[in-house]
Amino acid sequence: MFAAVFLLMSGVLNIVWGIAAIGNAHFFMRNQHYMFSNLKGWGWITLIIGILEIGAAASLFGGGTFGRIFGIIAAGLAAIAALFEIPAYPLWSVAIFALCLWIIHGLAIYGRPVEVAPEPSAPPPASPPPAA
């Protein structure tokens, strides 16, 4: 549940960021250099990753192993995309990257059996005293 909520939050952030980049919003700095494409190209990439994250969060709310694997893949793609955006927006990218790592960690450790130390052998219970 923890990772699903954060995955949903990250997906919404990426969708808003992607739509703003596609529409050339005024808060983006002009003439930034991206690794593979221009601002609109990264906007589409971020929008698609955000949609994948929302889908993974919905699958996680349903439970099951598929949701965990799909969530790890979606968060991994978002983390890689955030690393590619570091030259243009370093603080935002590092924050999204950290959020994605937190999501991956939460999904990777979920469901793992907890190791419990064996109980020391206790002496057999004493019999009750005889009734007088």
Residue 68 CA to residue 110 CA, distance in Å, equals 9
Alpha helix (H) residue ranges in 1-132: 2-22, 39-62, 65-84, 90-109
What is the residue-wise DSSP string for 107-121?
A: HHHTTPPPP-PPPPP
Residue at 96 is within a domain: yes
Residue at 123 is within a domain: no
Closest to 79 (Cα-Cα) out of 10, 19, 27: 10
Residue at 24 is within a domain: yes
Residue at 122 is within a domain: no
pLDDT confidence band for 86 (50 / 70 / 90): confident
Residue at 116 is within a domain: no
Q: What is the total count of domains within the chain? A: 1
pLDDT given at position 79: 93
Is pTM, for the whole model, over 0.85?
no
At position 77, the amino acid (one-letter code) is L
pLDDT confidence band for 132 (50 / 70 / 90): low
- Domain hosting residue 60, numbered range: 2-109
pLDDT confidence band for 34 (50 / 70 / 90): low
**What does the block give as tokens for 63?**
């439970």
pLDDT tens, position by position, 91-117: 988 998 998 999 999 888 876 555 666
Instruction: Indicate the length of the chain as a whole number.
Output: 132
Residue at 120 is within a domain: no
Residue at 19 is within a domain: yes
At position 6, the amino acid (one-letter code) is F
pLDDT tens, position by position, 42-84: 888 889 999 999 999 999 888 878 888 999 999 999 999 888 8
Neighbours of 42 (CB within 10 A): 23
Residue at 129 is within a domain: no
